Each structure stands twice: as structure tokens, then as C-alpha cells.
Structure 1
Amino acid sequence: MSSEFAERVSQLLQAMRSIGTGLDLHSTLNSIAQTAAELAGARYASIVVIDPASGDLADFASYGVDEVDRELIDEIPDGEDATLTVPVVVEDENFGDLVLAQKLGGGPFTDHDVQLVRVIATEAGIAIGNARLYEESRRRADWIDGSNAVTTALLSMTDVGDALGVVAEQARTLANAAAAVVLLPAPDGEGLKIVAAAGGADGDAETVVGTVMPWYSPAVAKLQAGEAVFVEDSASDPRIVTKLASAYGPSMLLPLRSGSRVLGSLAIPRNPGDPAYTESEKTLAAQFARQAALALVLSEAQHDRERLAVYEDRDRIARDLHDLVIQRLFATGMMLQGARNTVADEELGRRIDTAVKELDLTIQEIRTSIYSLQHQPPDAPTGLRGLVLREVATAAATLGFEPSVSFVGAVDAAVDAETTKHLLAALREALSNAQRHAEATQIGVVIDATAALEDGMPAVRLTVADDGVGLPEESLRRASGLRNIEARAQVLGGAAWTEGGLGEEGAGTAVVWQVPTMPEPGGSEGVQ
């Protein structure tokens, strides 16, 4: 072995140790190309990686090739002397080709060059294998973190729709997809209905919520049977019968399955022209879907336990009212009636009679409440008034005082279920912000169903005003809670903004949320 070749081998081993420390796959490929070019004395070096499944270019790393050269790369002279090509093998798999072109100083590549490049290719296979393992472990860790986030959301959020939105957003991000949607069984066996979405071809996920994938779609039959469906091109695949498919390319449709029970489906489409999902991605996504389904089942069980606890509490309250409170009131009435017979003063007698009548009315009202507790389910449909009062009462426990509430107009008749859902979420967020940041001593909530937009279209307006310390401009821009409130208004074609609050000279903050409604069927109910 010549001293020159020995020196080059020493340089090679040192360079390969450096390459072996790289963990990002594309960066590792670039380092290999540079090392090969420098040690073999080539002007150009590249690693071309072909996807074995599709035959498409999967990656391209190069050294000495700028953007101008890339356009002319097909004109680089080819032949035994002008180029040197060595395959790169990773775990007995032909990963790609390491190609060197144009020996510096002219002349052909030597046998020593060939030997060096072969060693580089061998070491490169090891480095690439390590980089692949790192990327795979990183992806697995990301999917595990996503599954944990979904479980936390489903077990902690009271609004299942919001929690399913977390499922969709996590799946879209982790799969590097264009969109993700959660589908649950539609009523009357119509198929699968989109109940939560993230991303989308037009960037507005809310527009697809409510879309139904019909029961006669072959994909729906497989999903409801607990089978996954993998699609190379959503627009042309006959198994997906929905107008949304035309905007997407590769897709995964995964059943949300826990044991033998299929709760729904998770669809994760990519844009047209994006690479198809790998087997590793399919496996990770399927595991994510199973975890999400398990979290859904646990969430249902938790809500059932909470509902049972409420039923039991209502029964206990009803028993206490009947066995303790009513009996004591009845006994007090009997004592007053007995005392009435001994009273000679007519005025005092009339007062006692009035007190006895009031006790009788109170007993009747308590009995009505007992009947309501025993027969009215806690999750029965409630109008907007009742739901708003419930939210405010819940917030009062953490605020330390009861906010005032006013209603203007026929709020229950004018506001539909979808608007009610978003209004309550906006109210909850505004009360939470006031509790955390305002340092307020009073808060006023007004629901006005007689409001109107600038174009005269009828609207409902929510105002949550406090007398707190106000909201600085910088905090206003950064407050995610306010951004969420504004986003919920925009989804319904409305808007949200802030104004002065309840304090002196407008001190404090008022959050105003306004969206259009259908015209009221009746007249105004007035302020209550």
C-alpha cells in the first residue's frame, strides 16, 4: 500500500467517524457525498435514492452541484472514465447509488479511487441505517406524545367535539398530512359523518364538518367492519364516494376500534402528488387510532360515572328535602296554628295566618323541586338561558362572586344549537380570562338576541364585561383565549372584539362576541 493511499484511507476513516455522528438522514447523505468527492478527487458527487415501491425519486443529495449545474446535470459526460458509480446497501437493501463525476485534474478514476468509494459506500450504509433508526424512533416518540395528548384531551375536556378536534389536529401533524377528519356513525345508518376536522384543501376545516360518507361507499363497509383502508389517490379510488376526495392524494382511513367495538373512523389524506404512506407510517397511525378509540371509551365511561354520581346526588337531595326540610316546616306550621288559638290580638293572629300560608306554599314549592329532581334527567335538553346560567354559576365558584346575567329578546327561539355551542364556548373562555387576568370585583354577562350586524342582518351578541385591570395591547395580541373567541365568531360569519369595561370611566375589559341569527319568530321578551 502506497503512503498516499494509506494517507487517504486514514482521512477516510476520520471522515466516516464524523459522518457516523449525524442523525438527520438528508444531512448524512450530503456529508457522504462531500466525503466521497473530496477523497476521490471528483468535481461532482451525488446520492440518488429511488423509492422501491413507486420507482420515484425519494431523495437526492449532492456535492459540487449548484442550481445551475442541476439544470445541466444530464450533460455531464458519462462513461467508464468520466463517472464512478457504487451502490449503497443498507441492511441488505439496495438503498441507492453513490455517483462521482469528473476527476479533478483530468484523467480517469483509479483503482484506489474505486476501493475508497466502495469503503465509503459500505460505511455510508451503516451511517444511513443509524440515521433511519433515529428517524424511526423520533417518529415513534412523536406519535406516542400525540396519543398522550389525545388521551388527556378526551378525559379532561367537557366538550367532546373539541376533544375530537384535538384527535384530528394531532393526526394531521404527526402524519405530515394535508388534513385529518374524525367520522362517527351518522343517524339512521346513513354512513359516517365528519364531526371534527383539521387542515383541509381550502384551509377551513369547519366547512367539511357535517359531511357524510354514504353507507354504500365500499370504504365505509370496511371501516365499520374494523378494517383499515389505504388509498394511493383519493380522487380516483372508487372505494371513496364523497366529493371531498377529489382534492386529495394518498390517504389512510383507519377504524377507531377498541376490542370488538368500532366507534368511528379517522381519515388522514395528503395532497395530490405527495408520497404514499410507508408501512411504518401506516403502523404508527393505526396504533394512534387504537389509542384514540380506547381514550374515547374511557371518556364515555368517565362521563357515565359522573352522570351516575349526579343522579345519586339528586336522589340524596330529594330525600333530604322530603325527610328533613318538609317535616320541619310542617311541624313549624302546626306549632303556629296551635299558637293561633291562644292569641287574642287580631293583628297578631292575621300575621300568624299569613306565616302559615307562606309555609304551605313553601312546602308545595319544595315538593315540586323534589319531583323535578327525581324525574328530570340532568342532561335533558336545556334552552340557551339555562345553559348560560349554568355556565355562570360554575364560574362563580372560582370567581368568588356571582356575575350578573341579562337576556334581551327571545334568546331560546332565536339562537340555534350550533350557535349555542359556540356562544357557550366563547362565554366560558371570556369568564376564564376574567378569572385569571382581570382581578375583577364584578362581571356582567348580557345575551342580546335583538342585535344586528352592519348590514342589518339579525344577530345575537354576547358581552362579558368586568371592572378589572384591563388588558394591555401586547397581551391582547398574544392571548390565545381571545383568539379562540374570535375564531368561533368567524366560523359563524361574525366577529369578536374588546371594549371598555364596567369600572369608572370604562375601566376594565368587555369582550363582545356577535354572530348572525335567523329572524326572531316573535317579539322581544325584554331585559330580565
Structure 2
Amino acid sequence: MAESPAQGRQGLPTAPQLRLDELLEGLQAQVEQVRAARDRVHTLLDAVLSIGTDLDLDVVLRRITESAVAVVDAEYGALGVLGEEGRIKQFITVGVDEDTIRAIGHYPEGEGILGLLIREPEPLRLADLGTHPESVGFPAGHPPMTTFLGAPVRVRDRVFGNLYLTDKRGGAEFDDDDEAVLRTLAAAAGVAIDNARLYEDTRRRERWLAASSELTRSLLSGTDPDQVLHQIATTVRSLSGADLVTVAVPIDGGDELVIEAADGEGPERVRGLVLPATTLAAKVYHSNERVTSSALSAEPQAGGGSAAQLDLGPGFLLPLGDGENVRGVLQVANLRGGSEFSEATMAMISGFADQAALALEIAEHRREAEHLLVLTDRDRIARDLHDLAIQRLFASGLTLNSVLGRVADRPQVAERVQRVVDDLDDTIKTVRGTIYALREGDRPGPRSGLRAKLLAETDQAAGLLGFTPALRMTGLLDTDVPTEHAEHLVAVLRETLSNAARHAHATAVEVTAETDGTRLRLRVADNGSGIDPAVTRRSGLDNLRRRAADLGGSFTLTPNQPTGAIAEWTVPLPAPASS
């Protein structure tokens, strides 16, 4: 049989057929590349659409990280959001489960390769992370990673953070196409982040304006200032999302402050606490400057405050007002492990604090104007009583005195006229006493309130105890407590602190003085030697019980846990006189 022309020897295809197969294979490879490029473009478009369809910043950041992992086909991905001084303040991960995250212990702060990308914000591609000179290795529990691709995310020419991708699937290295796709996604991410931040700023400003308007309306409508302080704390916590917000105001006649309002975690543990001059709040009050901390409870602040009662983490303190019109200190804090507050949040709260201070000042001027109106009215009443009532009463008395001589021969009539004259004299004395009381109450001069007296007693007791007792004051102690009750309360505090120093040998004492308008309560708790069962009577304790009984109240002395004693003195307050 004759050999076919299309075949060479031994049945092998000819050269033209080989070239055709090679061309077909090359064409098929190019088709596959085009399909892969098309799929990648579609993936990139889907990613861009995904990150641009939501305006919640946290959701946008999570979607950016997930999209970056998808478009470059990486095993692991993360987005590090930069904070102050180029440190990573937020780290969003994809591909690492919760158990591994807990095993690692904490997120990176910006060292090694991550820090290199922060210092030099340009795309970075590595075949092996461990061989780079900047590599510092991985912490215990961290999954092994080899290949690396990173790119910065810019928002209006400022680096917002960095995308970190590791371990391309299939064991391959990241290539030029991966880098180009990641650059494109990072650019789209910057736009999405900017939109989300603008939306967040708009919503924040709306809440701020609404809160400021409500606060101003409450103040100008005559709401009690103490209630307004609580409203400020509640509003600031709502605006900032903080775990705890406190408002401290100065105590008359000293450098200390007292926490008048608190909202959030454990407000009952910090409300009424006295803040000595060594605390951060007192320093902010006197310096009129904001203080920011990543761990408030770790700050060296002798005397404690809320950071000594609760385990507080990141937070900031700022003055309520400015210049010479600082009216208090606002503290905004999260518990340990909570997130730090953004600069935008601190700026918003600072603006609200200024607005609140201005509203408080306006309300104070309004109350002063009302008080001045009352004083003016009192002065007019006193003047009218003196010029009209007393003069007429005195003239009537003189007239009746002249009548007495004419009725001397009629004893019964003379006696009646004399009684009327005596009544007129008594009435004149009463009116004069009223005039004196009206003017004496308006006389200016320093007044020492109950709060200042309690603070002075605890400061004086520090010499005997060797430390300053913790003091908590709650309620309108200066206005709702009558003078007699206040004097008894100060005497009881002096006696109980003396007992804690001389008999109990305590190393810690907590004093609580509070009133709700109907009762007055003093509680002194120490960690000393406790109640000696061998001592059945003590003159000092009997005196405290007698002081309580005289005012219709009670006094108890009970053991404290684990050691020490608790002295509690409670008396009712008289009902306010009806107008």
C-alpha cells in the first residue's frame, strides 16, 4: 500500500500540522487568559459595588477587607486603620477564626512589615515575608504566612490605613496583575470610606444640634441645674457611645471637685465621689485643657476618682466651658479593652460641651435676674411696711394713748384701750422683725455650705488617719438640709472619723453623705479592727444615737466585710414650708 502524502515516515504528522496544533494551543491559552481577566474584572466590579452600597463605616471597612481577599485570591487579609502617631488603632481581619485571634492575644500595633508600609505608603509585594530585613516574626499562636501583598488606602490624599494580603491560594506568588487590581480596589475603597465618613459626620452633627437644642430648651425653661447635669451626661454618652460619662463640678471654697452626674456602667459607684486636686479631672479643671488617655485607670492619679472605682480603658477629659468660666469637667471613657475615641468624636463632644457651658451660663444669668427681681420686690415690701404700715400703726397707737386720759374715770374702757395699744406695739415689733428678716436674708457675704464643712472634716481627719477618707456627697446638701440637721451631721462625722482613727486603726475609710429631700443619711465604712464584743457601751456612740433620736432618726453600727465596721446615721428632714 502506498504511503499517504500527509504522513512522513513511520506515520508521523508533517511539520504544517505540528505548527497548527501549537497555534491552537496558544490560542486556547490566550482565551483562558482573557476569560480569567474577564472574571477578575467582574470580581473587581462586584467588589467595588459591594463596598459602595453601604454608608455604615464599620460595614464598609469589613466589606473592603473581604473584597480584597476575593480579588487577589488570598488566604488571609486585613485592613489596618491608622490612628494618632501612625499607630494601628483598628485591625479588621479575614481568614482568621476567633479561637486563633484569642490565642494571638492582641492585634499588631504597626511593627515589622506592617510598620514599613505605614512609613512608606506604597504597594509592597514579597515572595517570602520571613526573609525581609524588616520582618520581626509572628507571635505565638499566629498562623504561618509566606507570600505578601500590601497597598495603602488613601482618603483625600491622606493615608487612612493599609490593606495586607498573605498566602495566595495554590501556592503561587502575587503578580503584577494582583497588585494592579489591589491598587484599583484601594482607590475605590478610599471613595467609599470618604462617603461613609461624610454620612457619619452629617448624622453626628444632626444629633449634636438636636441635643444642644434640647439642652438649651431645658435650661431656659427653668429645669433644675442638677437635672440638667444628668441630662448632659446622658446625652454625651448617647453621642459618643461611651461606657461611662461623668460630670464633675467644683466645690465652693476649695480645689476639689465632686461628681454630680454619671451615666453608663456603674454610675452609683462614682456619683457623689469627691475628686482631690491630684486627680486628672482637677488638673483639667485648673489647666482648661483636654486630656486623652488610652488607659485611664492606669494613670497616676492619687486620690482615685471614677478610674479608681472602675477598670477604665481609653477615654478623655475636657473642661465644661473655657477661660475663666469653666463650670466643671466632662469625662468620657470606655472600659478596659474598649475602642479608642476618634478625633471626630472628641471634637463633637468638645463642641457640645462648649454649647452646654454656654447654656448653663445663660441659665445662671437668668436665675440671677430672677433672684434680683425677688430681692427688689422684697426691698419694696420692706420699704412699704416701714413707710406705710408702721407709720399708720404708730399714729393709731398715739391716738389711742391720747384717748386713755379722757377715759381714766371709766376703768373698763381704759383697760380695753390699753390692750389695743399693747397689741399695736406687738404688731409694730413683728413688722419690724419681718423687715429686718427681709433685708438680712439679702445681705451679701460668704456662706459655708454643708458640702464644704464635710470636706473640711475629712481633710482634718487625714492628720489622724494618715490618709484622706474617700468622700461621696449626693443630693442638695447645701439647700435641702436645715442648719440644725447640718450641725448634727458634721458632729456625727467628726465622731465616727475619730473612732476610726483612735479605736479601729483603719487603713481605708469611705464616707457617704446623701439626701433625697425627705431624709438625711451619713454612712461611714472602715476596714479596721471592727466592733469589739467586750465593749457594750461607749459614750461617743451613745451621743450619736442621742443626736439621731433628737431628730426622730436612728443610728446603727454593724460589721463590715471582710473587716471593719459600718456606722449609719439617718434622720428625716422636715417638710418644706408651703408658700
TM-score, normalising length from structure 2?
0.56
| TM-superposed deviation, 1:143 | 4.2
Aligned: 1:517 with 2:570: yes
Aligned residue number for residue 194 of structure 2: 129
1-side partners of 2:49 and 2:519: how far apart?
A: 57
Aligned residue number for residue 361 of structure 1: 426
Aligned: 1:302 with 2:366: yes
Aligned residue number for residue 59 of structure 1: 91
Aligned residue number for residue 576 of structure 2: none
2-side partners of 1:345 and 1:320: how far apart?
A: 37
| TM-superposed deviation, 1:100 | 7.6
Larger Rg over CA atoms: 2
Aligned residue number for residue 291 of structure 2: 229
Aligned residue number for residue 26 of structure 1: 58
Q: 1:67 to 1:258 in 2, by over 3 A?
A: closer
For 1:210, the aligned partner's letter is V
| TM-superposed deviation, 1:312 | 0.5
RMSD: 5.0
SS in 2 for 1:517: strand
| TM-superposed deviation, 1:317 | 0.7
For 2:79, the aligned partner's letter is V
2-side partners of 1:100 and 1:383: how far apart?
A: 67
1-side partners of 2:550 and 2:199: how far apart?
A: 57
Aligned residue number for residue 423 of structure 1: 516
Q: What do residues 56-109 of structure 1 show as CA deviations (whole Å, max 9, x unaligned)?
A: 4503154x76646868998877555xx765543333315221638665x99888
Aligned: 1:290 with 2:290: no
For 1:423, the aligned partner's letter is D
Contact 1:186 1:192 in 2 (8 A): yes
Unmatched 5+ stretches in structure 1: 385-409, 428-446, 458-492, 495-514, 521-528
Equivalent runs, 1:230-379 vs 2, <5 Å: 230-237=292-299, 240-244=301-305, 245=307, 247-333=311-397, 341=406, 347=412, 350-377=415-442
Equivalent runs, 1:90-109 vs 2, <5 Å: 90-92=155-157, 93-97=159-163, 99=165
Contact 1:192 1:264 in 2 (8 A): no
SS in 2 for 1:21: coil
| TM-superposed deviation, 1:199 | 5.2
For 2:288, the aligned partner's letter is G
SS in 2 for 1:302: helix
For 1:242, the aligned partner's letter is G
| TM-superposed deviation, 1:419 | 9.4
| TM-superposed deviation, 1:47 | 3.7
Equivalent runs, 1:426-441 vs 2, <5 Å: none
2-side partners of 1:312 and 1:382: how far apart?
A: 25
Equivalent runs, 1:125-274 vs 2, <5 Å: 125-148=190-213, 150-152=215-217, 155=220, 160-185=225-250, 191-198=255-262, 203-206=267-270, 209-214=273-278, 223-237=285-299, 240-244=301-305, 245=307, 247-274=311-338
Q: What do residues 309-337 of structure 1 show as CA deviations (whole Å, max 9, x unaligned)?
A: 12111101112222333344445556656
2-side partners of 1:150 and 1:143: how far apart?
A: 10
SS in 2 for 1:283: helix
For 1:313, the aligned partner's letter is D
For 2:388, the aligned partner's letter is L
2-side partners of 1:77 and 1:422: how far apart?
A: 62
Identity over the aligned pairs, expressed in percent? 32
2-side partners of 1:375 and 1:72: how far apart?
A: 73
Higher alpha-carbon deviation: 112-121 or 412-421? 412-421
Contact 1:256 1:265 in 2 (8 A): yes
Q: 1:194 to 1:147 in 2, by over 3 A?
A: farther
For 1:424, the aligned partner's letter is G
Q: 1:20 to 1:98 in 2, by over 3 A?
A: farther
Contact 2:519 2:571 in 1 (8 A): no
Contact 1:235 1:248 in 2 (8 A): yes
Contact 1:34 1:45 in 2 (8 A): no
Q: 1:44 to 1:355 in 2, by over 3 A?
A: farther
Q: 1:343 to 1:194 in 2, by over 3 A?
A: same
Unmatched 5+ stretches in structure 2: 1-32, 105-140, 451-483, 494-510, 521-548, 559-565, 574-579
Count of residue correspondences: 411
| TM-superposed deviation, 1:3 | 7.1
